[in-house]
Amino acid sequence: MGTATPSNVKIKARRMNFKHTQNKPRYWHHGDPFLTHALTSASIFFPEGERFFIRSVRHFEKEITDPQLREDIKGFIAQEATHGHEHTKYNDDVIGQGYRFLKPVERQVKIGLAMLNKYSPKQFQLAVTVALEHITSIAAGMLLAHPELMEGVEPEHQEIWLWHAVEETEHKAVAFDVYDYIGGKYWIRVLALGLATMLFLPAVFFLLSRFLIMDKKFNRKTFRDLKDYHEGKGHIFKELGAHYLEYYRRDFHPWDLQNQHHIDEWKNNNKTFA
């Protein structure tokens, strides 16, 4: 098959120049170190991760004859390239705040993905991309569906995250559709998600703990404040877990979750970027 992206969803590359990724407050997420550092810990992996995604999809581009899927691939590549660029600026600002331990982490991520690119089969690399796109797209979907997750955050510090969430939602099926088009195997797809989950999520939490320890915030008060902030939000994380598990169905497709109305809502509120 070709693309399964809804016809009213356009994978559009937007030229962004966020003014608030630099010189942002140390704890820009309503003064909370845990939530600020949790998002930053994920961001550290984005620039090299996005480049890996582009390489893995581009490798199979010549095999795709479906014109709409080819067009979607172009949009996917353009969007991911922009994500990498904007998160590089975001990350550089964090490093400039004194978190120098992130520089070797960035090098390690680059080396690790380069080795994966050199030594693993191309279908497996694409399966890893599909798996990580699933993780990022369901997280993005939750961010758009539940604005309370950004409760108390100044609008200028939400910009990069909501824009990224919108574009992850727009192109959430592209790598999956390419994988399906080339006859990618089900067992490789689910194996890749298992491995990605076991490697990526612990790496994010490890970085988060380093941030908190360095700031002397790895204490009861930080976790008590987090618990109080998320009081009554447990259903969001149950919803996230349910969407994650959907991936293991043989007949799964990213657009089983029809959430394109959140894209429209963001566009209506952000005419400049839409």
3 state SS for 18-30 = CCCCCCCCCCCCC
Between 16 and 57, residue with greater pLDDT = 57
- Assigned token pair, 73: 């691939």
| Burial class for 126, CB neighbours closer than 10 Å (0-12, 13-18, 19+) | buried
Give the predicted TM-score (pTM) of the model.
0.94
For 110-143, how does the pLDDT look when each residue is reduced to its tens digit (9 = 90+)?
999 999 999 999 999 999 999 999 999 999 999 9
User: What are the sequence ranges of the domains in the chain?
Assistant: 33-269
For 217-272, how does the pLDDT look when each residue is reduced to its tens digit (9 = 90+)?
988 888 887 777 777 777 888 899 999 999 999 999 999 999 999 999 998 988 76
Percent of the chain exceeding pLDDT 90 equals 81
